[in-house]
Structure 1
């Protein structure tokens, strides 16, 4: 039988571990955002040239870019998704990356048109009655950081 004192220590340890995990997650997100913004800012010429020529060989060589997916939207608009990182396991993962969009307006994950609300330095969408979300933040004209949780 567990004593009251031992039970309190066990609960305190669990709470402490949860707090550390939350702090780690938050600093990991900020670190990923900083890295992604640096990828864009330090490689803007290569990225822009890749889009202009529709040739992504050089962009794939940039450290941190895992996958590149173009989406062709209406009115000759183009959305290019540069996926960089994932945190967590399916079905509860967070995806990090950046995108280029010709109309210079924030869009949801993988070019979905959702109602984005201002949030901090960017925009956010949260699924009603669910836990899916998008967070988008402008890096520079036409280039946006994203975080998508599913």
Structure 2
């Protein structure tokens, strides 16, 4: 097990199997030293953790937990490509999408769920650039979606 997986285990988490794509794409692609994940939904055991809009059917606090699940699924996609998560030298970029009620403006706090997990898992290498974007809808009525780009050695 990698040091990254050990840190996740200390949080009571483990790297899941890679979630199956819901359309015509692959979960992860590597180009040189960069590994790009497709957008990851908050899927656990093949099911979404929740559905609906944040600020309406889903609370911001629950959405942040779902964003953490998305990040864990992104970590799984990276592991499926590189094998050993200790090969990750940096989390470069995180892009988070939040299906938002029109009056909801707390997207950054929601995506902190993903960012904070990545910081705990990868320590200093987990510090990253980020975008947190509110959108009208996401696939399968998911409340959040997260994609990451990492650099590997």
TM-score, normalised to structure 1's length?
0.30
Q: Which of the pair has the greater relative contact order for Cα pairs under 8 Å at 6+ separation?
A: 2
Computing the radius of gyration over CA atoms, which structure comes out larger, 1 or 2? 1
TM-score, normalised to structure 2's length?
0.30
Structure whose residues are more often strand by fraction: 1
